[in-house]
Chain A
Amino acid sequence: MWNIMKAQRHQIKGDNFIIYGFLAAIIMQVLPIFFDQMDMESMNGGLFAVSTFGMIPVSLVIVSLVLVARICGWDMDDKTINYELLSGHSRSQIYFGRVVMSLVYALVAGLMITVLPTFIVFIIKGWGNNAAFKEVFVRIAVMMCPYIRWICELVLVAFIVKSSNATLVLGFLMCEAVVLAQTIFEDATGILINVQFAMTNMIELSQITNSKMELVNGELISVFDASLKSSDITSSIVVSFVVAVLCVMAGYAIFKKRDM
């Protein structure tokens, strides 16, 4: 399995498709600064984090789609994955090697996109008083759980459709369709759907709506409540973990029995 992962790393190193996807995700993440015309003078780490939270799901979707499509789907497009079977690797090594690569690369890239810009602002401008560091940190950490679930769902899609491009298209449709369908249904019927989809869960976790004006150090500032209820934290972690495991096992069950 280690050899398969080394070969994958060699393959995606310098892959322009992944580089462009990563850049697109970073740009999406920092876009609010320009569109919302923020006051850069009063900017700090906490304010930056809260201001860009809403773009996190979008950035994570872009980077995960690109990485999973390339790591899992590309070799099935041109059948070079067959060489791994022909070389004596077991189907479990081939499959789980790609699952691990997808999770590691997508998580690292995701954390870089979500944390790095905030970290840079934090280093330059300090954290500030607009949001509690611990609350922001916990929110990002919990958001990684539905993100991991989303990555595993994409892996399943990739192994079903056996194609990099089809994974991209279907993955994009999945996240758009789920959010749109849920919104339309809830607006039309007034019935809240209590099913947690990965995308909707990430969006919920990215929304920080509670804020108030407070006088801090003689200055009136917006203070954001980025805390999460323990029930929300628990349900995000548990549901994400269960669905992620189910998706991974389903993907393996499909791949194990497939004629290549």
Chain B
Amino acid sequence: MSQNIIDVKHLSKQYMKQKAVNDASFQIKEGMICGLIGPNGAGKTTIMKMLGGLVIPTNGSISIYGGCTEAGLAKARGRMSFMIETPYAKEKMSARENLEKQRLQKGIPDKKRVDEVLKIVGLENTGKKHVRNFSLGMRQRLGIAIALLSKPEIMVMDEPINGLDPEGIVEIRELLLKLNREEHITIVISSHILSELSLLCTDYIFIHHGELIQAVSSDELKKLCKEFYHIHTDNDEKALVILEEKLGITDYDLDEDGSIRLYEKMDKLTEVSRTLYEGGVIPITLGINEANLEKYYMNMVGEQNVEHNEGTKASD
């Protein structure tokens, strides 16, 4: 049974009048690939910075590998690596020189490690080219190289595929999956490209307006992202009555335009269609909507925005 290696309790960060993170609690287990999902300004980067010690929490506690004191956390961070925001680098140095400096400050004795990580991320041929002449994608790769330098046990990555071309995105995804599978590296990753996260993550943490909305595993998410029939007819009101009386449906929702979302009878499309037709209703749209992370997230954000706005109005 995998243990909790990161334990965050009631974590908050207040800047002047704004709460960037509000009472967030979550655990990261060994071996997880955990996706942090949220819109811009949700608090994902602030949480990652607090995990890394760059930002000092206002309230709450962080424990990494059991260490929760300043000294304990510093020691634990030696087993981690981070890539936060746009990778930091010395602009007038080459990729190799930047990595060499990081190798020295991390105390990595093996000089060949620099060549290894340059090759892994595809920057081995940059030579003496200064980082200021790098593209965004190349800078991202350099950030990943720095993160890989110390062979960490946990990697915390803030939008690592930002700026990469499609080939690069696939490369990094496969690299992260390989590191997780073969070297048992735990990964905490944020990205706006939800389709990529859905191919990568074993668990998800949803954050909005600085608050943790939900923490679910990918299996649980599949259950929550229900598939449904989308039914739109020439008379949706009548169609609903027919379906309730003839098929006894109870698990459904109505969209704004009156069309029906039916969450049951998923293996009985023919029966639904015939029932509607026999009842004198002509189906215009009748199809299965597959749920996915993106739709689930958009629905959740939409609900949260409504709640947040109502909360803001109430406090005004």
Contact call A3/B104, Cβ cutoff below 8 A: yes
Most buried by B among A83, A85, A86, A259: A86
Which residues from B are CB-within-8-Å of A82? 52, 54, 84, 88
Q: What are the interface flags for B78-119 relative to A under an 8 Å C-beta threshold, 1 for contact and 0 otherwise?
A: 111110100011110000001011101111000000000000
Contact call A3/B105, Cβ cutoff below 8 A: yes
CA distance A7 to B101 in the complex (A): 5
A225 within 8 A of B: no
Contact call A88/B74, Cβ cutoff below 8 A: yes
> Which chain A residue shows the least CB distance to B71?
A90
Most buried by A among B54, B78, B81, B98: B54
B280 within 8 A of A: no
Interface residues of A in 11-56 (CB under 8 A from B): 11
CA distance A3 to B104 in the complex (A): 6
Contact call B54/A85, Cβ cutoff below 8 A: yes
CB distance from A91 to the nearest CB of B (A): 8
Contact call B90/A86, Cβ cutoff below 8 A: no
> Which chain B residue shows the least CB distance to A259?
B55
Number of interface residues of A (CB under 8 A): 21
Contact call A79/B88, Cβ cutoff below 8 A: yes
Contact call B82/A78, Cβ cutoff below 8 A: no
Contact call A3/B89, Cβ cutoff below 8 A: no
A89 within 8 A of B: yes
Contact of B105 among A89, A90, A257, A259 (CB under 8 A): A89
A195 within 8 A of B: no
Contact call B54/A86, Cβ cutoff below 8 A: yes
CB distance from A93 to the nearest CB of B (A): 8
Which residues from A are CB-within-8-Å of B77? 85-88
Interface residues of A in 63-83 (CB under 8 A from B): 78-80, 82-83
Which residues from B are CB-within-8-Å of A192? none
Contact call B105/A78, Cβ cutoff below 8 A: no
- Other A-B pairs beyond A88-B76, A88-B77, 15, CB < 8 Å: A7-B102, A11-B90, A78-B89, A78-B91, A80-B88, A80-B90, A82-B84, A82-B88, A83-B88, A83-B146, A84-B105, A86-B54, A87-B78, A90-B74, A257-B56
B positions within 8 Å CB-CB of A: 49, 52-56, 70-71, 74-82, 84, 88-91, 98, 100-102, 104-107, 146, 150
Question: Can you list 7 A-B contacts (CB < 8 A)?
Answer: A7-B101, A80-B98, A87-B78, A88-B78, A89-B105, A259-B54, A259-B55
